[in-house]
Amino acid sequence: MLRLPARRAIPRTASFKISFKPYVELFQRANEPLLLIRELGQLGQLVLELDSSELPDIEDMEAEHAYFCWTFRLVSEYGEADILEVFEFVEGDCDLEIADLGIYLSPDDFVDDDAAGLFGPEEEAATAPTVKIKSLKRTAGGETVVSQSIRVELDKVDRLVNMVGELVITQAMLREQGGQLLVEQYPNLVQGIEELSRHIRDLQESVMAIRAQPVKSVFSRMPRLVRELTASLGKKARLVMTGEETEVDKTVTERIGDPLMHMIRNSVDHGLELPEARLKAGKQEEGIIHLSAFHRGGRILIEIEDDGAGINGEIVLKKAIEKGLVSPEANLSDEEINNLIFMPGFSTAENVTNVSGRGVGMDVVRKNIQGLGGRISISSTPGQGSKFTMSLPLTLAVMDGMVVDIGHEKYVLPLGNIIQTLRPRQKDINSLPDGRGIMMFRGEYIFLVPLYDIFDVSDALHDPCEGLVVVVEGDGGVLMGFIVDDLVNQQQVVIKSLESNYQLVKGISGATILGNGRVSLIVDIATVQDMSTQHYSESCGRGGNNVQATDIPVSQAQTSVEVH
């Protein structure tokens, strides 16, 4: 039963039935169905049906799970290829079926009619004999894009970046003021403010993109270094590099060069064994050093992995005791022992050589990386190799933050680290013998971090059930629950240095200026993580064996949990 074309002739309109079921991976790759749907809606007239039958009770709901699937009915002048293009970037992360129903009818007709009836099963069979099921293929871009570039003085770009920073602050102020206006009274003004914030965000991203550079410029120095080192040390090594195209702020590329070289040097000198030893250990004669860069959660991670001997905990500990860095009675976890190599003055090399043994090294590396707002962590398996992971911010100027109330003060938490915010029930809250709060979160116990205590705010709420718990991801994927009074809002914040006029403050990575002109401090999650661990180990009286622990902000004490 074919329907006749519309009363008003609409040229070559075809209708499609599209069923779309996203997998969890789609969300994990930061794709958003809403955007896809919006884009689809631009192709023509769209009727959609949401299948939420899989959605469980809110209590049992997992925030990172995909529960929905959609059925779209699209009447469009475009063809199937255009529809496929909408889903181009979610290929493999969803079930997608596109059925070309091939009938021609007017969109009016279509909407007026009972859509379900129109696409009833019999009808489908009748009108769409050729139902094509396609898996999506990314169009392997054959076209070569000629990129043009101009040289600009860095000063000019920096001026632009600064101006945009000021603009972001002004916009935050406007939005704060605008938030008090009634939408009914000033619809255009409110809408204008919203639009302005969107444009400013785009502007800011574009400006930051100007400063972004591929890490290739740094990585490209490494092969030569490895060649020279292996030649002088009589070792065999191959450097494998991936992710050289990963872009990061110019300041970062400028300043990670030296630390990176130092770490590569370490890997070749300390990590890799001599060819004979490698053969004896059943490994390839040639060691492999893997240098990779990739984005994760608004940061760039740079990993240096070798398949050498790994860190020998015993030797490290012995050396540290010899040099008086640790007291002999200290009882340290493997993680803590690995972190000893970041202590000033530490070296395991027996002799001072050109390459290493000077005992100036990893502590400087760590200082440099921390200076960039980054962190460094180690994981090492004896006999199989070590991996150093540097986590660096993408830009040094602006970030997305969540403004929270802690007593009368406002603090900013980096949005990228926030997993969820919730008000726990009393039964989810427990405490360990040392008084450290612990909370059940998604089937795991996580530590509660009393920010009011760490930042010494006197008038803050202490009970997480009265305030809120912001679950954040710390170093090594460790989850923690920060106790705050309330959430204020989410906004872009311009990072201002405290050091330029004062000094580094522990637990604080910088400051920003809020819409009301007041200064707000940005919480450094990794440091707070350590401060809270320390806080309790001290209060419990176990602090006796500490490794001068005051200065090891690199994830200590927590066994690392890999989060993918």
Q: Which residues contact other proteins by CB under 8 A?
A: 166, 169, 409-410, 454-457, 496-498, 500-503, 505-508, 511, 513, 517-521
| Placement of tokens 């949990």 in the chain | 561
Instruction: Please give the structure tokens belonging to residue 399.
Output: 């970030």
Q: Which CB atom, from 21 or from 506, has the smaller least distance to other proteins?
A: 506
Residue 281 vs 519, nearer CB to other proteins? 519
Least distance to other proteins from the beta carbon of 531, Å?
A: 9
What number of other Cβ atoms are within 10 A of residue 273's Cβ?
A: 18
How near is the Cβ of 503 to other proteins at its closest, in Å? 5
The CA-CA-CA angle for residues 552, 497, 515, to 5°, reads: 125
Nearer to other proteins, 153 or 456 (CB): 456
Q: Smallest gap, in angstroms, from Cβ of residue 415 to other proteins?
A: 20
Residues 476 and 423: beta-carbon distance below 8 Å: no
Nearer to other proteins, 394 or 457 (CB): 457
Nearer to other proteins, 316 or 484 (CB): 484
Name the DSSP letter for residue 237.
E
* Least distance between other proteins and beta carbon 496 (Å): 5
H helices present in 99-221, as ranges: 107-112, 115-118, 121-127, 154-178, 187-211, 216-219
CB of 90 to other proteins, least distance (A): 42
Cα–Cα distance, 293 to 241 (Å, whole number):
8
Minimum CB distance to other proteins, residue 506 (Å)? 6
DSSP state for residue 5 in the 8-state scheme? P
C-alpha dist (Å) from residue 337 to 304, 313, 360, 501, 559: 19, 6, 18, 36, 12
Q: What span, in angstroms and rounded, lies between the C-alpha atoms of 487 and 468?
A: 8
Distance CA 452, CA 523 (A): 12
Q: How far is the CB of 172 from other proteins (least distance, A)?
A: 13
Q: Return the number of the residue (393 or 510) whose C-beta is nearest other proteins.
A: 510
- Cα 53 from Cα 502, distance rounded (Å): 57
Give the residue with the Cβ less far from other proteins, 117 or 517. 517
User: Side-chain half-sphere of 382: how many Cα atoms within 13 Å?
Assistant: 9
3-class secondary structure, 507: coil
Q: Which two tokens stand for residue 6?
A: 């519309």
CB 557 within 8 A of CB 478: no
Our CB check for other proteins shows the closer of 326 and 513 to be: 513
| Residue 372 or 457 having the CB closest to other proteins | 457
Asked whether the CA dihedral 463, 467, 470, 475 is positive or negative, the reply is: negative
Phi, psi of 53 (to 5 degrees): -65, -25
CA–CA distance, 14 with 105 (Å, rounded to integer): 7
Supply the Cα-derived Rg of the chain in whole angstroms: 28
> Per DSSP, which regions of 243-315 are E strands?
247-249, 287-296, 299-306
Best CA proximity match to 71, nearest among 91, 44, 96, 107 = 96
User: CB 148 → other proteins: shortest distance, Å?
Assistant: 34
**Minimum CB–partner distance for residue 517 and other proteins (Å):** 6
CB 217 within 8 A of CB 253: yes
Shortest reach from residue 501's CB to other proteins, in Å: 5
Instruction: State in angstroms the smallest separation of the CB of 482 from other proteins.
Output: 14
Cβ nearer to other proteins, comparing 287 with 467? 467
Q: Report the residue number, 80 or 176, with the smaller CB distance to other proteins.
A: 176
- Beta carbon nearer to other proteins, 278 or 410: 410
Strand 486-494 vs strand 398-406: parallel, antiparallel, or unpaired?
Answer: antiparallel
* Residue 147, CA atoms < 13 Å, CB-side half-sphere: 2
Q: How far is the CB of 451 from other proteins (least distance, A)?
A: 9
C-alpha torsion sign, points 304, 305, 309, 315: positive
What are the structure tokens assigned to 26, written together?
């789609």
Minimum gap (Å) between residue 299 Cβ and other proteins? 23
* Residue closer to other proteins, measured from CB, 155 or 456: 456
**Of 176, 226, 230, the residue nearest 517 (C-alpha):** 176
